[in-house]
A and B are shown apart, each in its own frame.
Chain A
Amino acid sequence: MKPVRKQRLMLIGVMLAVLGAAAYFALKAFNENLMYFFSTSDVVAGKAPANTPFRIGGMVVKGSVERPGDSLLVRFTLSDLSREVQVEYSGILPDLFREGQGIVAKGRLDGRGVFVAEEVLAKHDENYMPPEVASSLKKTAERP
Chain B
Amino acid sequence: MSVIPAVVNRFFHQTASPPYFYALAERLAPWLTGVFLLLLAAGLYGGLYLAPSDYQQGESYRIIYIHVPAAWMSLFVYVLMAVMAGIALVWRMKLAEVMLIASAPIGAGFTFIALVTGSLWGKPMWGAWWVWDARLTFELILLFQYLGIVSLYGAIEDRRAAARAVSILALVGVVNVPVIHYSVEWWSTLHQGPTITKLDKPSIHVSMLIPLLLMAVAFKFYYLIAVLQNARLELLKREATSQWVKNLLEKTA
Binding site for B on A (CB under 8 A): 5, 8-9, 12, 15-16, 19-20, 23, 27, 31, 34-39, 57, 93-96, 104, 119-135
Contacts and interface: CB of A to CB of B under 8 A. Distances in A.
A3 B189 CA distance: 46
Closest 7 CB pairs of A and B: A94-B127, A134-B55, A130-B52, A36-B133, A129-B205, A128-B204, A126-B195
Contact of A5 (B90, B172, B187): B90
A133 B205 contact: yes
Nearest to A28: B186
B126 A31 contact: no
Contact of B134 (A19, A36, A96): A36
Contacts of A125: 56, 192-193
Interface string B166-183: 000001101100010001
B53 A20 contact: no
Q: Tell me whether chain A's interface is mostly helix, strand or loop, or mixed.
A: mixed
Q: Tell me whether chain B's interface is mostly helix, strand or loop, or mixed.
A: loop
Interface of B: 52-57, 61, 64, 86, 89-91, 124-128, 131-134, 171-172, 174-175, 179, 183, 186-190, 192-195, 203-205, 207-208
A20 B175 contact: yes
Contacts of B134: 34, 36
A8 B55 contact: no
B188 A39 contact: yes
Contacts of B57: 96, 124, 128
A94 B125 CA distance: 7
